[in-house]
Amino acid sequence: MAFDFDLFVIGGGSGGVRAARVAAQGGAKVGLAEEDKYGGTCVQRGCVPKKLMVFASEFPGAIEDAVQYGWTVHSGSFDWPAFRAKLEAELDRLEGVYRNILGNAGVQSFDARAVVADPHTVELSTGERFSAKHILVATGGWPVKPDLPGAEDAITSNEIFHLDSLPKSILIIGGGYIACEFAGILNGLGVEVTQYYRGAQILRGFDEEARGLISEEMIQNGVDLHLGTNIIEMEKVDGGFRVKSTNGDERVFEQVMFATGRAPNTAGLGLEQAGVKLGRNGQVIVDDYSQTSVPSIYAVGDVTDRVNLTPVAIREGMAFVETVFNGNPTPVDHALIPTAIFTQPEMGTVGLSEEEARDQEAVEIYCTSFRPMQTAFVGRPDRVLMKLVVSKATRKVLGCHIVAPGAGEMIQLAGIAVKMGATKEDFDRTVAVHPTMSEEIVTMREPTRSA
């Protein structure tokens, strides 16, 4: 049977665009539908605008330090509308880049919503229907808010980049990546930030010592962080929202932002009707090759809720093309993925936390925390942390955790060694780069503890 397309991709984010481009470059006839702006969460509502906001938010601290380093600096204020206009222009430019990538590769793109009509057919919001030998679902995820009174008026990370003005005060709810990153960003931009997290410590799942240091530093930097606290209800009042919380407080904040997780975008896509199995959170269930329960339908990226990170979605997209179009079945390797959290201070991490490793085998912990030269010089109390989790049996470094300015850059490189299976002795054989913070990673001689 002749199909209109060899591949039809639903979703123009990181995973979908990569798969579409690589398949088309290999000679496949590819269509792609995107109902919103091209680039997806990473480019339009996530990593890229977030990181630019991190940069913007770090200037006040840098300016204070410049004075301590002997510079005469004239005080200034932050012009949010000017920054936002520049940010939006940059996101538009990147959307153009994504469109060009597709166009240049010969992918036919449709500015429309697509749903799955049957295992080999997609239907567009324009009314068009296309048959496809393979369908790739790459629709990503979307922020979710808890179901509580007034929550519908609060914002999420989707809206934060486009506010008309920065609020004087904000309550951020959640203790994950997004909550902690935006607490730091908005605090740096001069907003009074209160953060409620229902658990005992932010950044659940990461190394405990690292989380503890980030939480201390965030508080020291001015974030009013309340652990073991959650919102009960909120209502609109003059000047913002009155919020009742589990700690008995009733306070007014100009803005409230929920960073309470993201859910896979599968509602109304026609997947279940076509026979595609979904999980409890609505995620598309796939095998190691990103194939769903319907053989002609695959899914990659956040919609599968495996490891929800841009580079992982891209890997999954490439492995899908390799498997389906190049006849080379390629599972995606989800082990030892280095990642960064752009909190202030930043965290870079790869491998097992101390707690995970201890559950698995006997380990030695090498850990140091100190005041780095650059900020100690100006009298800042800021501390950084370098930590290695080492297997006693194999001497392999099972985990590396860095909390420090630039930790994201550092962990990319340390991640290569850990992925290669480097031992503690391999780290020790490497000469230190001096004077740097990261030299401590190769100079920790005695274990801090065994566990």
Q: What is the CA radius of gyration of the chain?
A: 24
- Give the position of tokens 């501390």: 383
Q: Which positions from 283 to 322 touch ligand NDP by CB under 6 A, shown as an x/- string? A: -------------------------xx-------------
DSSP letters along 44-87, please?
IISHHHHHHHHHHHHHHHHHHHHHHTT---------HHHHHHHH
> Should residue 262 be labelled a site residue for ligand NDP when binding is judged by CB under 6 A?
yes
Rounded distance between C-alpha atoms, residue 4 and residue 2, angstroms = 7
In whole angstroms, the minimum distance from the beta carbon of 51 to ligand NDP comes to: 9
Q: Least distance to ligand NDP from the beta carbon of 204, Å?
A: 4
SS3 175: coil
Q: Does the protein bind ligand NDP through residue 185 (CB under 6 A)?
A: no
Please, which of residues 324-363 interact with ligand NDP by CB under 6 A? 339-342
Give yes or no for residue 174 binding ligand NDP (CB under 6 A).
yes
Q: Are 381 and 371 in contact (CB under 8 A)?
A: yes
Our answer to whether residue 434 is catalytic in this structure is yes
Mask for 212-241, x = binds ligand NDP (CB under 6 A): ------------------x-----------
Judged by CB under 6 A, which stretch of 60-68, 106-114, 173-181, 384-392 contacts ligand NDP? 173-181
Q: What is the largest CA-CA distance in the chain?
A: 75
| Tokens read off for 132 | 């496809």
Q: Which is nearer to ligand NDP, 18 or 262 (CB)?
A: 262
Distance CA 171, CA 289 (A): 41
- Nearest Cα to 451, choosing from 366, 377, 335? 366
- Residue 140: which of 322, 313, 315 has the closest Cα? 313
Q: How many residues bind ligand NDP (CB under 6 A)?
A: 24
Residue 179 in contact with ligand NDP, rule: CB under 6 A: yes
- Nearest approach, Cβ of residue 307 and ligand NDP (Å): 7
Min dist CB 192 to ligand NDP, Å, is 21
Please tell me whether residue 176 binds ligand NDP under the rule CB under 6 A.
yes
d(CA 262, CA 265): 9
User: Does 259 contact ligand NDP by CB under 6 A?
Assistant: yes
**With respect to ligand NDP, which residue has the nearer C-beta, 279 or 295?**
279
CA–CA dist 10, 14 (Å, integer): 12
- Residue type for 340, please? A
Active site positions, annotated:
434
Binding residues for ligand NDP, per CB under 6 A?
A: 146, 173-179, 181, 197-199, 204, 230, 259-262, 308-309, 339-342
